[in-house]
Structure 1
Amino acid sequence: ILKDYTMVGMGNSFGNPKKDLEDISKSFDESLSALKKFNKDSATKKALEDEKKLWAEIKKSILETPSKEKVTTLQHKLDELLKVANNTTGLFAKQSKEKTGDIINISGRQRMLSQRMASLYMLKVWGINSPEFDTKMKDAMKLFKESHQKLKSFDKNTPKINTLLKKVEHSFKFFEIMSKSKSKFIPSLIYKKSNDILKNMNEATNLYTKLEGAK
């Protein structure tokens, strides 16, 4: 979300970020509705209600004209949404007693982390320099790398899942190089690499979900 918001703010139309923001908003609404129908737990229901309320505030902000003055507040709200969403995902994982439930949770989180890394770097490209954002970038990369190792070592990975994880590892190397470089990378390249990870982790997460459903 923040990645697209920043791209629009910079006047960069690569990948049509404005339309992507609209699509993400619609998809998030649909996802919340689907989760609400799937849920069978009262604690998870409360978490979903909290998530929906916070999302309503964010949705209004991201569909307005991007502003450097508002972006820090938006980033903090997205952090809050992330915590709430992680809590919700964890509650859903608890409804599954199997180890695959945790793997689905980790795999799904990788999708979010890929976009978080791209978003935080985009802010730097946009001219918003903050030690807070630098720390968040390092933390996101560390968690992504540790989580990737957990996924790679999962004993029920299929050949297809392993292939997807190798592709993700290759794309992640770009972020490792980028974080150590003093030069600023082209926004469209950051956009593409993060979307490559998102696409491959989406597919991997779906495959993990099928493993869970096959029991």
Structure 2
Amino acid sequence: MYCMPGRIKRLGIFFLMTVSLVAADIQSPEEAVDIAGKQRMYTQRMLKDYAMVGMGNTFGDPGKDLQKTIDEFTDHLASLKVYAKKDTTKKSLDEIESLWKPLQKTLQETPDISKAGKLQEDLEVLLKAADTATKYFAEESGKASGEIVNLAGRQRMLSQRMASLYMLKVWGVKDPRFKTKLDDALTLFKTSLEKLERSPLNNDEINTLLAKVKRSFVFFEMMNRSNSKFVPTLIYKKSDDILKNMNSVTQLYVKSESK
């Protein structure tokens, strides 16, 4: 369809305005750390949804959630690119963008178990790149709270990582490294949770939420020790319970330090 140059120009201006409006939502360095940290979580949530769709499990409407997460990852990346100040941070976001484009295409195709192992590896590379960018934003904040927001935000990612690795196992994807990766995720989650429980920034609300997270995490520890297979819907729900509560904790840290 023919599109007049004037219309293209107007669309271009509209796009820039839209990106600017998204970026304007970032009101503080802590919020930038929070949003950058969410990108880490999205890499693992997309993998979890991909596996659920591949298995034909409709609990939580994973197909719809997958597309929503793809869109949010793209929008957040645009927002962070506008907000980033230092060259090192900008360069890390450019790397994320180059990794993201081919993955975005794969994730929107019909899930294929033969591609799931490679997808997991590629999303792990994207995860590491997103983690690097988050650390740069934490450094830019210049506050100890930036690191706490980073740590709390990473728990959101780990909740989805534990679930996605287990989903791939249930789906039938064979990878001898999955057990080690899951063990590492569980260990990191537990030690990070202990650090958060000792944070001087905590208040009663944060402590209550962390206690709920701790109770949900016990389920994953039991799952990892058991030889029985847990149903995917239970894994999905428990991981989302942790995600919801850790997201609230992260937002409370951001709010307390952005005043």
Q: Provide TM-score, normalisation by structure 1.
A: 0.97
The answer to whether structure 1 residue 13 and structure 2 residue 46 are counterparts is no
> Percent identity over the alignment?
54
- Asked whether the equivalents of residues 6 and 122 of structure 1 are also in contact (C-alpha less than 8 Å), the reply is yes
Following superposition, the deviation at residue 37 of structure 1 comes to 2.1
Larger Rg: 2
Aligned counterpart, 1:134? 179
Alignment partners' CA distance in 1, 2:84 and 2:149? 16
The one of 183, 192, 198 equivalent to 1:153 is 198
The list of structure 1 runs, each at least 4 consecutive aligned residues, that deviate by more than 2 angstroms after superposition, is: none
Q: Which amino acid aligns with 1:177?
A: M
Following superposition, the deviation at residue 96 of structure 1 comes to 1.5
SS in 1 for 2:209: helix
Structure 1: unaligned runs, 5 residues or longer:
none
User: Which whole-Å deviations, capped at 9, do the CAs of 1:80-112 have from their partners, x for residues lacking one?
Assistant: 011100000000000112111101011111111
- Asked whether the equivalents of residues 201 and 253 of structure 2 are also in contact (C-alpha less than 8 Å), the reply is no
Aligned counterpart, 2:226? 181
Aligned counterpart, 1:119? 164
Alignment partners' CA distance in 1, 2:246 and 2:103? 24
- Asked whether the equivalents of residues 51 and 85 of structure 1 are also in contact (C-alpha less than 8 Å), the reply is yes
Aligned counterpart, 1:30? 75
Aligned counterpart, 1:95? 140
- Asked whether the equivalents of residues 100 and 211 of structure 1 are also in contact (C-alpha less than 8 Å), the reply is no
Alignment partners' CA distance in 1, 2:247 and 2:98? 25
Count, aligned residues: 214
Aligned counterpart, 2:118? 73
Which region of structure 1 is more displaced relative to structure 2, 7-16 or 120-129?
Answer: 120-129
Alignment partners' CA distance in 1, 2:57 and 2:228? 19
SS in 1 for 2:199: coil
Which region of structure 1 is more displaced relative to structure 2, 36-45 or 73-82?
Answer: 36-45
Alignment partners' CA distance in 2, 1:37 and 1:163? 35
Aligned counterpart, 1:41? 86
Following superposition, the deviation at residue 130 of structure 1 comes to 2.3
Alignment partners' CA distance in 2, 1:138 and 1:118? 12
- Asked whether the equivalents of residues 50 and 84 of structure 1 are also in contact (C-alpha less than 8 Å), the reply is yes
Following superposition, the deviation at residue 52 of structure 1 comes to 1.3
Which region of structure 1 is more displaced relative to structure 2, 95-104 or 85-94?
Answer: 95-104
Structure 2: unaligned runs, 5 residues or longer:
1-45
The answer to whether structure 1 residue 162 and structure 2 residue 207 are counterparts is yes
Aligned counterpart, 1:104? 149
Q: Which amino acid aligns with 2:176?
A: P
- Asked whether the equivalents of residues 116 and 173 of structure 2 are also in contact (C-alpha less than 8 Å), the reply is no
Q: Which amino acid aligns with 1:87?
A: T
Alignment partners' CA distance in 2, 1:207 and 1:59? 31
- Asked whether the equivalents of residues 50 and 107 of structure 2 are also in contact (C-alpha less than 8 Å), the reply is yes
